[in-house]
Chain A
Amino acid sequence: MVSRNKIVESIKNEVEIEKYVINLSSKHQRAIETKDLTISYNGKKNALNKTNLAFETNKITSLIGASGSGKSTFLRSLNLIHGENTLIGGQILYHGVNINDPSIDKFEVRRRIGMVFQRPNPFAKSIYNNITFALTQRAKYTKNQLDEIVESSLKQAALWDQVKDELNKSALSLSGGQQQRLVIARALALKPDILLLDEPASALDPKSTMQVEETMVNLKKDYTIIVVTHNMQQAARVSDYTAFFHMGNVIEYDLTRKIFTRPKVKLTSDYVAGNFG
């Protein structure tokens, strides 16, 4: 009885939810793509239902939606950083390989797909060592090589000019915005091709927020960026594509300007207009 009820309910859900999700045409290069990605915690109700999203290379994609809609759940699955209580079904295609597979080296994936969290989390180490630590854990580098990597990643994150004379200072002595850019530089030092950012500016003041946004836009030419944000203006300002999440479903995925000017689904226009969430 119980199981039959469940099936009926889920069929009903799929029928009732109105969705509009674009698929990239073949002339757009795909950095990463999910196929029927379904995620649940502790075997409870799905936090994410059958999600099919393809992200274009060297573009910024925003993930928006109300609290608890599954944005972080989705983002964290992309570099396999989810906890052990997380069950993931479906595929995550990265360079044509399904990385949602036990045989994949998840440490290697995380080095190629960098992640930055809401609260800046530099290590309790010097600015310099924050950047070199993960590198030197894996391979040998000469001092010159390390110096170069530190300089270039700090420059990419637009932090070099502010810290170049005090690289041996503790990273914890930086301001929140500087810490967040250091964390971005630290991820870039590993030469990833995708950068995942989970509300990277929500703990920052407006000025630091602008700096982080500028950094993101500058990074676009070399990286594919997927960013979760609650800030509609931010999504509209920086991103090329936007995906709207609602209760574990992607309701609408389209070019950002379309989402913010003429969304196809009513739920999206309500959310974007600030009518709920």
Chain B
Amino acid sequence: MFNSKQINKLAISFIYAIAIIVALILLFLVSNILINGIPEISWKFIASPSKTFEAGGGISVQLFNTIYLLILSMIISIPIALGAAIYLNEYAPKNDFISVLKTAIEVLSSLPSIVVGLFGFMFFVLKFNFGFSILSGSIALTFFNLPLLTRSIENSLAAIPNLQREAGAALGISRFETVIHVILPAALPSIITGIVLASGRVLGEAAALIFTAGQSSPNLDWLNLNPFSPHSPINPMRPAETLAVHIWKINSEATIPDATKISAGSSAVLLILVFIFNFLARYLGNKIYKKMTAGK
């Protein structure tokens, strides 16, 4: 009926069609969010605090909280994930215990975030008495993040050929030095990709934060840099509503009249934030990579 050339052509057009559909859906989504959201964005919107009952509130506090939580959770999770991944890929023996461990990490990475949130609530908010706080939130985000981050760094390391490790060994360099100075730099671009993906998940996460970082923020005094003051922006023990949680809240409670406009604006800001973060991380990563590996 068909010869293999025709079948090949057919298959290729089919695959192209699917790729175009995916690209179109993505384009539609992004442009929709930006077209609806950008008109709502103004300096006042970004720089003023939100209002509870009237229209015209901003998102300054939520925006700050989002970035602060992202940074804090990354500061906690990147070193742990890096250490775990280095152990698993470079040192762990190939035995049953390690393979069970790897499976467990895989299972954890598909844990629903609401479950992570509830666990964080019971454990950190109540048991450890951290309350609804940035600390509880960033620990919950770390739990949410670690499995995937560990997996992706592990894969990045595994992609570096064994020739490089052998080269280190043949020069009398210890495994650890080889990993730090040769393997990690070579794997950096791919590790950065993993971190960017994880950050995207964190930026958009609401369910894990509702019960841990809370749904409200105190009035912040931007000039108060005493980390123990309840009104200081950098106090890790204060509750902190993020942008994603804010969007969820104003839409489910509907106490402000312009909830639709504010969520449209917030969504666009969130999206732009993801872009900026993505760009920054890749730019910095690339610079370090070039410096350590002489480009290529």
Contact = CB atoms under 8 A, between A and B. Distances in A.
Contacts of A129: 294
A117 B185 contact: no
Given A107-B172, A107-B173, A123-B182, A168 B294 contact: yes
Contact of A124 (B166, B170, B172, B296): B296
A183 B167 contact: yes
A170 interface: yes
Contacts of B296: 124, 170, 172-173
A121 B166 CA distance: 8
Contacts of A70: none
B181 A133 contact: yes
Interface residues of A, number: 35
Contacts of B166: 81, 117, 121
Given A79-B170, A109-B172, 4 more contacts: A111-B172, A115-B170, A124-B164, A170-B293
Interface of A: 79, 81, 106-111, 114-117, 119, 121-127, 129, 133-134, 137-138, 168-173, 183, 186-187, 190
Given A124-B164, A137-B181, A81 B169 contact: yes
A111 B171 contact: yes
Given A121-B163, A121-B166, A133-B181, A110 B294 contact: no
Given A117-B163, A123-B164, A123-B182, A134 B295 contact: no
Given A117-B163, A121-B164, A190 B171 contact: yes
Sorting the interface of chain B by its residue count into under 10, 10 to 19, 20 to 34 or 35 or more gives: 20 to 34
B287 to A, nearest CB: 15
B174 A107 contact: yes
Contact of B186 (A109, A124, A127, A186): A124
Interface string B146-182: 0000000000000001011011111111100100011
Nearest to A84: B93
A134 B169 CA distance: 10
Interface string B265-296: 00000000000000000000000000011111
Nearest to A183: B167
A83 to B, nearest CB: 10
Given A126-B294, A170-B293, A173-B296, A110 B170 contact: yes
CB-based closest 7 A-B pairs: A126-B294, A170-B296, A111-B172, A121-B163, A110-B172, A134-B171, A107-B172
Contacts of A81: 166, 169-170
A40 to B, nearest CB: 19
Interface of B: 161, 163-164, 166-174, 177, 181-182, 185-186, 292-296
Contacts of B167: 117, 121-123, 183
B163 A119 contact: yes
29 contacts: A79-B170, A81-B170, A106-B172, A109-B172, A110-B170, A110-B171, A111-B172, A114-B170, A114-B171, A116-B170, A121-B161, A121-B164, A121-B167, A122-B167, A123-B186, A124-B164, A124-B182, A124-B296, A125-B292, A133-B181, A133-B182, A134-B173, A137-B181, A170-B294, A170-B295, A171-B294, A186-B171, A187-B171, A190-B172
Contacts of A137: 173, 177, 181
A125 B293 contact: yes
Most chain B CB inside 10 Å of its own CB: which residue of A111, A124, A187: A124
B185 A124 contact: yes
Nearest to A171: B294
A81 B168 CA distance: 11
Nearest to A138: B172
A115 B163 CA distance: 12
Contacts of B185: 124-125
B295 to A, nearest CB: 6
A168 B167 CA distance: 20
Contact of A134 (B164, B172, B292, B294): B172
Contacts of B181: 133, 137
A126 B295 CA distance: 8
Contacts of B161: 121
Nearest to A116: B170
B192 to A, nearest CB: 15
